[in-house]
Amino acid sequence: MKLSLAWRNIWRNRTRSLIIMVSVAVGLFAGIFVLGLYEGIMNSRVRTVIDTEVGHLQIHNAKFKSDYDPNFGFNPNPILGKLDSFEVIRYITVRSITYGMLSTTTGSADVKINGITTRSENQVSRLKDKIIEGEALRAENKNDVLIGKKLADKMKLKLGGKLVLTLADKENELTAGAFRVRGIYQSDNTPFDELNVYILKHVLNNYLGSEQKSHEVAIILKRDEDLQIAQTYIQNLFPDLLVETWKETSPETNLMVGYVDEFSMVFIVIIMFALAFGIINTMLMSVLERTREIGMLTALGMNRKRVFSLILTETILLTLVGVPLGLFLSWITSNYFGHVGIDISSFSGAAMSGFGFSSMIYPEFPLESLPRVMLIVVLTALLSALFPSLKAIKLQPAEALRR
């Protein structure tokens, strides 16, 4: 009875009620779509980190990452032999790594020198797919190097250009080698492109004097869900080595994921807070227009608790009717742009890549965040209902009837 009466009261002023319902739908749509944008951006960044930068897992000597001393390497053959039969692994590659100086006639820059095996590196980091000029490294060309576009622009290097890499070997003696640019690559992460250069692994090992040793094993899994299982299994196999997930190798990315989730919720709260004022205003107008009616109901025996409950129900219904429409619109829009993408390269591509993000955004409907969003909507409805409901029960029957 109370629900039916509340529903009828809502439609006594159709225009006003429809405006509030549409406002709720649009506000919820905007909030969820922005939430989907953030989720798409962060999921894209996570996929970039995993699929093209660090992999799901990395294995190092426990002391290597403290100062990248080339002496803290290991023989990768026992590791590869034992992991070859581990069914959760899709791809695996071995790298030699050191930091050094890249020098040309125009200047110098600090770089991270990655010694790679071309075939397995292309599987793990998709390096070949990033090349925009030239070609991948070849085993027969020992003095070739791949550099990022940002670094090439900075050092004014082009295909075939000559450069010198200077590094410290395992005896801590400086050694240098001349290289020629075989290819220029470009990823979605400009700082990464500016720092990392690639040469053949056996060539870097010769300069380091580390023979067959390696410094890093990078692993791509078949499923993201197997991350913790794989880390525990590999760590138990090689207790003397350091096995890290992408969350530990790239902690800033993991931090950003959590930060963006919280920021998105704040954005939803702000939208609902703004809508609450419109709902309160509408219900106050409704209460003031029905002063005589509420006074008569009270005089006929409806107690204050029921009057409060009636106005509360009307306000909640007014808010919640717009929710399904808002959810539907955000779901349709997120799915559409999740397929075609939103290209923002024309006005913020450089800024996005400067922080390691792609300029092509694919929104994702934030299904996991919906319970929190709905909780915020319900709380908004309840809080919006309090003031008009309290106003209604404060009306005195005799005074209300005289108005």
Q: 226 lies in a domain?
A: yes
Q: State the pLDDT at residue 66.
A: 86
Domain termination residue (choose one: 193, 216, 239): 239
Whether residue 88 lies inside any domain: the answer is yes
Both 107 and 206 in one domain: the answer is yes
If asked whether residues 85 and 176 sit together in one domain, one would say yes
- Under the banding of pLDDT at 50, 70 and 90, the label for residue 5 is low
Q: Note whether 124 and 39 are same-domain residues.
A: no
Region for residue 68 given its phi and psi (left: phi exceeds 0; alpha: psi -120 to 50; beta: otherwise): left
Distance CA 296, CA 293 (A): 5
Which pTM value belongs to this model?
0.78
Q: Is residue 56 part of a domain?
A: no
Question: Between the CA of residue 124 and those of 51, 128, 212, what are the distances in Å?
Answer: 7, 10, 21
Q: How far apart are CA 92 and CA 55, in angstroms?
A: 9
Task: Return the pLDDT at 21.
Answer: 80
Residue with tokens 């008009």: 388
HSE of 269 in the Cβ direction (CA atoms, 13 Å)?
7
Comparing 141-150, 203-212, 357-366, the range with the smallest average pLDDT is 357-366
Residues 154 and 258 occupy one common structural domain = no
Does residue 92 share a domain with residue 22? Answer: no
- For residue 175, give both structure tokens: 């050694």
pLDDT band at 400 (very low <50, low <70, confident <90, very high): very low
- Residues 56, 219: contact at Cβ < 8 Å? yes
Of 239, 272, 295, which marks where a domain is finished? Answer: 239
Closest CA to 114 of 219, 212, 210, 201: 201
Q: What is the pLDDT of residues 365-389, one digit of tens each?
A: 888 888 888 888 878 777 777 776 6
**Assigned domain for 244 exists:** no
Residue of 125, 120, 118, 168 lying closest to 144 (CA atoms): 118
User: By residue range, what is the domain housing residue 222?
Assistant: 63-239
Across 300-311, average pLDDT: 67
Same domain, yes or no, for 190 and 220? yes
CB-based contact 55:94 (threshold 8 Å): no
Pick from 234-243, 311-320, 326-335: least confident: 311-320
Give domain status of residue 322, yes or no: yes
**Rounded CA gap, 379 and 272, in Å?**
9
C-alpha separations of 134 from 117, 157, 160, 335, 389 in Å:
18, 13, 9, 37, 72
* Model confidence at 94: pLDDT above 70: yes
Q: Do both 38 and 153 map to the same domain?
A: no
* Number of separate domains in the chain: 2
Q: Classify residue 190 as left (phi > 0), alpha (psi -120 to 50) or beta.
A: alpha
Do 295 and 395 touch, CB atoms closer than 8 A? yes
pLDDT at 19: 78
Which amino acid appears at position 99 of this protein?
A: Y
Q: What's the CA gap between 298 and 278, in Å, rounded? A: 27
